[in-house]
Structure 1
Amino acid sequence: MNRVAALLVCVVLAGCNSVSSEGPLAGAIDGDAGRSSAELGRKNAAVFDLVDIDSRSARLVSDYVSTALNRRFGIGGGVGRVVIGVGDALRVTIFEAGSDGLFSTAQSKQVSLDIVVQPDGTAAIPYAGSVRFAGKTLEQARKAVLAALATKAVEPDVIVTSTGTASRTVTVSGAVGRPSLVPLDLTSEKITQVIAKAGGPVTQPYETSVTLVRGNKIGTALLKSIVEHPSEDIYVQPGDQVFLVRDPRTFTLMGSVKGDGRLEFGANDLNLLEAVALGHGATDESSNAQGFFLFRYEEPDIVRSLLGPARFQALLQKGMAPDSKGRYPIVYRFDMSHPDSLIVGQTFPVKSRDVIYVSRHPSVDIRKFLTLVGSPLGIASQGASTAANLGQ
């Protein structure tokens, strides 16, 4: 190496870090991963971990994305036993064998009574008094009325039917045709059925998010995923709240790409390769093929599965914190220098609000620095050549 080249190596090692940059290098992201604020020497720095994506990890993430509601609530075998509740409307029909009974006449041996279950769970039946209905099935209610009339009516028989289910409703609101309280039938109903009862969605399934609130549990999935994956079409329960929101899915593309910015999916699905292609691909002269990153707040179950319980707990102790929805920061790295990355990239789903960052090659900063210091010395061209060799 001649004297000029030696000089260039020295100044590169001494000063290239002072060149203004456009986002972190791949090595900087790798170096910060898994380190606490104290280890990084930066107060309140975000603690995250880095996961190299291969076929296994890509499949794990993809499988979880398509089963978000089922994992959160479970599909089970329906909602179990359906019982009468406060506010429900019932029709109690009483039959008697003789024409001289309490409820029969020469013209009719039956009478129908329309009742509403009161706040204390009971309803009044003539000659039987208050009968408890709340918490009973229709058959149990029938037997309760029959027992109350056994010593009063003439060989009575009873039929109890439901005419209104005020206690069995689901709130469906947001981007639907008719936001409303949807009454549930006595059979189990799924989330798409109550959405249909509320007039159906008013936007495309791939840009409609469905949020189900049940007690202190909240789950969100795309309507498209619910339609395409039967296990996601879970059974609703009385008191559930279903919210539909039009949410055009977008992601942010940054770094060494030809077209960065916030971009819309514009389709049902989007994988990593398609997302980069929407930005017209990476720049050949400056991108680092080993430095394609996707930044995301990820579901805790996925993070635990990818990192393992021990690593996950260690990061929590270092200060890794969830966002408002309980998701944890994770960075996925794709090595596009390997041929199978073109296969893996097709199976890895991009989610709304993801940030995809293509890091620049280290030689880019070296070239910038050498151009900066070399021009006054008349050695810019040799500096560029040396930078190319150093970047290899």
Structure 2
Amino acid sequence: MLPRSGPNKQEIYSGSVQRQGDAFVVSVNDHVTRATAVTPALGFGENFLSAAQVGSDTIRPGDVLGVAIWENVEQGILASAGAPAALEEVQVDGSGFIFIPYAGRIKAAGNSPEAVRRIITEQLATQTPDPQVLVTRIAGDGATVSITGAVNGQGVYPIERPTRTLGAMLAAAGGVAVNPEVAVVKIIRGGQTGQIWYQDLFEDPRLDIALRNGDRILVEADTRAFTALGATGTQTRVNFQTQNLSALEAIAQVGGLNPTLADPTGIFVFRNEPAEIANVVLARGDLVGAQRLIYVLNLTEPNGMFMARDFVIRDGDTVYVTEAPYVQWAKVITALTGALGAAESLANAGSTFGLVGATP
């Protein structure tokens, strides 16, 4: 058996169901391309899409507040007249309280900054005349999300006014670090998970969902891949470089057909096809369970290039290109001429050293 890259067309056809094999061999046409054009549908469920944004006015445990107090007396209890007493960072504790000197423990969680301002003012008014109080939020809405994976800035980020949606939060993390066309964004919220193509998120504002405290965001490159074998530019496992990949693009990704070996009439796609698709492709309704299908593409037909362009490659497919028939003949001839040449060389060597016809 001469060396080769795999089975030839006749051997593949011999394994078809029509010849008592275990795989259906199907020539690709318009009906087949339509029936097999299944692409992964990523998107968020209604529970993600309908969630409202985290409120910007409600203080929660973990918030950091800025508090400034002015008094109308020369020597106030906290500051001199005209100069504020600034408490630059006051963090809301786990119970939802903050401490303000002379005002005591103030319930902040569940209130707005304006409500906290009024409470502090009322508490201080019993000790200093007409105090003026300013309360601002320095960081966070009392909620954070974690961002990991293929982003330029992994970490834990507070949900603030500019970053209350998924797209804005990813921008705050430096954006995705992989090709945006094949970047997948996954969100884990409690026991629920949703994922979406980053490109769809970027192009459709309706998919820019509101974030929630504790959301875990993972960005990763698309993990789908196909295997290329036979007379192609390279034989390897290849990751998808686009959301939708055609057979023509798959061949191009591996360097095209080998010009000295490939048979353009023998391009095969091996796939385990779900029964519901296999029944449509084969125009029957009795198949149950995954079926082995071998799709055949012939680039030499008038519409062969169009069929290859329209046929969608799926995760786990094997794209195999057979060798042209003349290649095996060329190998046979090369082997024969090589053997004859070797025999002649041995004869010449024996004659040179007086071995031909010599008796032991």
CA contact (8 A) 1:102 1:154 kept: no
Counterpart of 2:248 in structure 1: which amino acid? E
Secondary structure of the equivalent of 1:134?
coil
Q: Using the alignment, how far apart are the partners of 1:146 and 1:332 within structure 2?
A: 77
Relative distance call for 1:57 and 1:125 in structure 2 (3 A) is farther
Give 1:156 deviation, angstroms: 3.3
Give 1:90 deviation, angstroms: 0.8
Determine the structure 1 residue equivalent to 2:48: 74
Determine the structure 2 residue equivalent to 1:93: 68
Determine the structure 2 residue equivalent to 1:136: 111
Determine the structure 2 residue equivalent to 1:271: 245
Determine the structure 2 residue equivalent to 1:161: 136
Q: Deviations over 1:245-289 (max 9, x none)?
A: 3456422468xx96596553564343344356558699787789x
Kindly report which structure 2 residues correspond to 1:164-243, keeping only aligned pairs within 5 A, or say none.
Answer: 164-165=139-140, 167-243=142-218
Give 1:188 deviation, angstroms: 4.4
Relative distance call for 1:216 and 1:131 in structure 2 (3 A) is same
5+ residue gaps in structure 2? 1-9, 25-30, 281-287, 321-360
Give 1:139 deviation, angstroms: 2.9
Relative distance call for 1:253 and 1:96 in structure 2 (3 A) is same
CA contact (8 A) 2:59 2:108 kept: yes
Determine the structure 1 residue equivalent to 2:340: none
CA contact (8 A) 1:250 1:262 kept: no
CA contact (8 A) 2:23 2:293 kept: no
Give 1:213 deviation, angstroms: 1.9
Q: Deviations over 1:145-166 (max 9, x none)?
A: 3344454442334321122338
Q: Using the alignment, how far apart are the partners of 1:179 and 1:70 within structure 2?
A: 22
Relative distance call for 1:156 and 1:344 in structure 2 (3 A) is farther
Give 1:122 deviation, angstroms: 0.7
Relative distance call for 1:356 and 1:226 in structure 2 (3 A) is farther
Q: Using the alignment, how far apart are the partners of 1:263 and 1:148 within structure 2?
A: 70
Counterpart of 2:180 in structure 1: which amino acid? P
Relative distance call for 1:229 and 1:242 in structure 2 (3 A) is same
Relative distance call for 1:285 and 1:204 in structure 2 (3 A) is closer
Q: Using the alignment, how far apart are the partners of 1:354 and 1:346 within structure 2?
A: 19
Comparing 209-218 with 225-234, which one deviates more in the overlay? 225-234
CA contact (8 A) 1:70 1:231 kept: no
Kindly report which structure 2 residues correspond to 1:1-392, keeping only aligned pairs within 5 A, or say none.
Answer: 25=16, 58=37, 65=41, 68-71=42-45, 74-76=48-50, 78-82=52-56, 83-99=58-74, 102-108=77-83, 110-113=84-87, 114-165=89-140, 167-247=142-222, 249-252=224-227, 263-264=237-238, 267-274=241-248, 277-278=251-252, 295=272, 350=313, 353-355=315-317
CA contact (8 A) 1:84 1:133 kept: yes
Comparing 99-108 with 84-93, which one deviates more in the overlay? 99-108
Give 1:223 deviation, angstroms: 3.1
Relative distance call for 1:203 and 1:272 in structure 2 (3 A) is closer
CA contact (8 A) 1:170 1:183 kept: yes
CA contact (8 A) 2:71 2:81 kept: no
Counterpart of 1:118 in structure 2: which amino acid? D
Relative distance call for 1:92 and 1:270 in structure 2 (3 A) is same
Q: Deviations over 1:6-53 (max 9, x none)?
A: xxxxxxxxxxxxx997897478678xxxxxxxxxxxxxxxxxxxxx97
The TM-score with structure 2 as length reference comes to 0.57
Secondary structure of the equivalent of 1:142?
helix
The TM-score with structure 1 as length reference comes to 0.53
Count residues with an aligned counterpart.
284
CA contact (8 A) 2:103 2:124 kept: yes
Comparing 271-280 with 129-138, which one deviates more in the overlay? 271-280
5+ residue gaps in structure 1? 1-18, 31-51, 298-302, 308-317, 321-328, 359-392
Q: Deviations over 1:284-333 (max 9, x none)?
A: 87789xxx785579xxxxx9xxx9xxxxxxxxxx9x9xxxxxxxx89999
Give 1:347 deviation, angstroms: 7.3
CA contact (8 A) 1:334 1:341 kept: no
Specify which structure has the higher proportion of helix: 1
Give 1:124 deviation, angstroms: 0.9
Relative distance call for 1:90 and 1:293 in structure 2 (3 A) is same
Relative distance call for 1:57 and 1:155 in structure 2 (3 A) is farther
CA contact (8 A) 1:275 1:350 kept: no
Give 1:130 deviation, angstroms: 0.9
